[in-house]
Structure 1
Amino acid sequence: MKIYPVTAILLIILLGACATPQDTTELNEQVDYYKDQALQADSIRTEYRNLEEEKRLVEVELNQMMNELERLRATNISLNRSYQEVLSKFNEQINQNQEVVATTSYENLTLQQQLAQKQTMLDERERKLAQTEYELRDKQRTLSMMEYNYTEAKGVLGQKDARIEELESALAAQKLRLDNLKQSIDQALTGFSSDELTVTQKNGKLYLSMSQNLLFTSGSEDIDWRGKQALMQVAEALKNNTDFQVMVEGHTDTDGTASRNWDLSVLRATSIVKELTKYGVEPERITAAGRGFYAPVAPNNTQQGKALNRRSEIVLTPKLDDLYQIIQN
């Protein structure tokens, strides 16, 4: 029976679900539930193996008892035959005339003693035979109960393995969609340098990071013509991949006040959202967020670090409807 890497699957689910805080909380609850289901599957799997071993031992013992029962039956038949022979011989001598009986009283006594011994042995064998048959029936009842538990555990384990396999297939399909989208965006943005934008895939999401120099002039939220060209090409790729949610995040360096940087990051994110929707991306798929200077990717104590922090990121997250459905079933 195939066993799947449950821990790896759960980790991928947990890292892959970041659309909103509410979605994250719900998915974490579902992941905890699924982790508990996986632990139950491991427990059932262990019980299943124990039941198999116990069943094997009971079957061995049952076979031994069956052999003993057959041996006792054979011995009982032999004793009964011997008893009948002695009884027949005794009755034969009793039927002889009185004179012969009188002269053979010693032989009669010996035969009677042998007959009594045979009867005692026969009674003991019959008692043992009855006890063995009782124990055999008890063992058969135990074996039937174990076979029932064995079948039930095997069925539960099969159901859990099927759900794990289904979840793994859904994750593989999601990973393939993410790879295809990255390839599509990479091809669409081949005319731009790595200093202007980068596309990275991590934690089950796709991150498109665009520098300020590509999109905006310093302190402005108005997108220039090269930025619009880049966003138009991104929008074309997004329109063909409707099963991804879009989060647009604005980021700044630490120059200026925190309040001004908050406002500027929000305005820039909103400008990008408007541009994407103008090129055909559904508004209900997009969320705009301003992060100010609170999510830097480099230290703000150098000009190079500040330039890296002045960026806009488009975060693409696969929809988790299929994974939710698998977990909740």
Structure 2
Amino acid sequence: MKKIALLLLSVTFLASCVSKKDYIELENRYQKSQDLLNSTTVKLNSCLTDKAGLEARANSLEERLADLKKTNEDLIQSSKDLTMLTAQGASNLEKSLESLKEKDLKISRLQDAISKKDSVTLALVTSLKREVGINDPDIEISVEKGVVYISIADKLLFKSGSYEISARANEILAKVATVIKGKPNFEAMVEGHTDDVPYKNGLLLDNWDLSVKRATAVVRALQSQGIDPGRLVAAGRGEYVPLVPNDTAENRATNRRTRILVLPKIDQFYEMIEEEMKTLSEEEKK
């Protein structure tokens, strides 16, 4: 007990000898060290999680490889055990195994081509979000099944019942056009959407006409920014594909929108796959 009392007395004495400024500085250094430790701990936990995921994937691949090897060994063993198997039959079995191997390689090449397309799509989305500005609640950029969607509220593009592009719209569409021009392997389809309030201007027949005119107006705006018109498609959906029921003013405003679909050219996508197949054939000849 005497030793503990002496130790406490010494600590108290030393603490009283430290100036308030030094104490605050030490306290700040301690806090920074603690923050650094916490940050490092978070990063370590993230790395450990990633490591566990990679190890699990590696184990799964090793198991699959082992299964394939076992299957191959079983087939070879079965061919040896079948004493009545003719030489032609054995040759056919070998060809079948080679065919399976070739198909597996082709599937792998196809997956590589799809991965390349997905990588380009991801780069496209990143460019659009950076150029257009994803923080604007009236502009939404998303990806669904490999297609990039840019949805723009009509209040940014047109006045009520009009299909003339606004100054603000030209600014937005110029940014969109800049990104699309940099992706020559992609096409852009513009969809016009309205609410269900009947069109009464008299210049057009109905909302379907209005949606088409708005789509063509956006297409022309994109073309004026230097996009090849052969890469542009205009489509009107009228009131027939609403996002929400047209039962309130807010919902009707949500349904009045223009969507720009940026999608890969199908023919060029298949050309990419054919190129992969050609590379495979050349490698097999070596």
Quote the Cα distance in structure 1 between the aligned partners of 2:72 and 2:274.
Answer: 24
CA shift for structure 1 position 55: 1.5
Name the aligned partner's letter for residue 54 of structure 1. S
Q: CA separation of 1:257/1:228 partners in 2, compared to 1, >3 Å: closer, same or farther?
A: closer
Are positions 1:182 and 2:125 aligned together? yes
User: Which residue of structure 1 aligns with residue 264 of structure 2?
Assistant: 318
- 8 Å CA contact 2:177–2:227 kept in 1: the answer is yes
Among residues 234, 241, 246, which one is paired with 1:288 in the alignment?
A: 234
- 8 Å CA contact 2:161–2:199 kept in 1: the answer is no
Larger Rg: 1
Quote the Cα distance in structure 1 between the aligned partners of 2:134 and 2:122.
Answer: 20
Structure 2 gap ranges (5+):
1-70, 278-286
Quote the Cα distance in structure 2 between the aligned partners of 1:187 and 1:327.
Answer: 33
Quote the Cα distance in structure 1 between the aligned partners of 2:120 and 2:112.
Answer: 12
CA shift for structure 1 position 143: 6.0
Quote the Cα distance in structure 2 between the aligned partners of 1:218 and 1:208.
Answer: 21
Quote the Cα distance in structure 1 between the aligned partners of 2:105 and 2:239.
Answer: 46
Among residues 183, 200, 205, which one is paired with 2:142 in the alignment?
A: 200
- 8 Å CA contact 2:134–2:140 kept in 1: the answer is no
Q: Could you list the per-position Cα deviations for residues 215-260 of structure 1 after superposition, in whole angstroms to 9, with x for gaps in the alignment?
A: 0110011111111100000000011011111100000000015941
User: Which residue of structure 1 aligns with residue 165 of structure 2?
Assistant: 223
Among residues 205, 210, 217, which one is paired with 1:264 in the alignment?
A: 210
**Normalized against structure 1, the TM-score is what?**
0.57
- 8 Å CA contact 1:170–1:322 kept in 2: the answer is no
CA shift for structure 1 position 324: 3.0
Quote the Cα distance in structure 2 between the aligned partners of 1:292 and 1:327.
Answer: 39
User: Which residue of structure 1 aligns with residue 187 of structure 2?
Assistant: 245
- 8 Å CA contact 1:48–1:150 kept in 2: the answer is no
Are positions 1:297 and 2:243 aligned together? yes
CA shift for structure 1 position 206: 0.3
- 8 Å CA contact 1:198–1:210 kept in 2: the answer is yes
Q: Could you list the per-position Cα deviations for residues 282-309 of structure 1 after superposition, in whole angstroms to 9, with x for gaps in the alignment?
A: 1000000111001111111112211111
User: Which residue of structure 1 aligns with residue 174 of structure 2?
Assistant: 232
Name the aligned partner's letter for residue 112 of structure 2. S
Quote the Cα distance in structure 2 between the aligned partners of 1:145 and 1:154.
Answer: 14
Structure 2 residue matching 1:198: 3-state secondary structure: strand
CA shift for structure 1 position 163: 1.4
Structure 1 gap ranges (5+):
1-46, 59-138
Q: How does 1:138-157 map to 2 (within 5 A)?
A: 139=83, 142=85, 144-157=87-100
Structure 1 residue matching 2:187: 3-state secondary structure: strand
Are positions 1:166 and 2:109 aligned together? yes
Quote the Cα distance in structure 1 between the aligned partners of 2:174 and 2:269.
Answer: 31
Structure 1 residue matching 2:142: 3-state secondary structure: strand
User: Which residue of structure 2 aligns with residue 54 of structure 1?
Assistant: 78
Quote the Cα distance in structure 2 between the aligned partners of 1:48 and 1:160.
Answer: 15
Structure 1 residue matching 2:241: 3-state secondary structure: coil
Q: CA separation of 1:322/1:277 partners in 2, compared to 1, >3 Å: closer, same or farther?
A: closer
Quote the Cα distance in structure 2 between the aligned partners of 1:248 and 1:322.
Answer: 20
Quote the Cα distance in structure 2 between the aligned partners of 1:319 and 1:180.
Answer: 16
Quote the Cα distance in structure 1 between the aligned partners of 2:151 and 2:157.
Answer: 11
**Normalized against structure 2, the TM-score is what?**
0.65
Structure 2 residue matching 1:154: 3-state secondary structure: helix
- 8 Å CA contact 2:79–2:85 kept in 1: the answer is no
Structure 2 residue matching 1:235: 3-state secondary structure: helix
Q: CA separation of 1:316/1:49 partners in 2, compared to 1, >3 Å: closer, same or farther?
A: farther
Quote the Cα distance in structure 2 between the aligned partners of 1:49 and 1:308.
Answer: 61
Q: How does 1:114-133 map to 2 (within 5 A)?
A: none
- Bigger RCO of structures 1 and 2 (CA < 8 A, at least 6 apart): 1
**Farther off after superposition, 145-154 or 209-218:** 145-154
CA shift for structure 1 position 53: 4.4
Quote the Cα distance in structure 1 between the aligned partners of 2:187 and 2:226.
Answer: 14
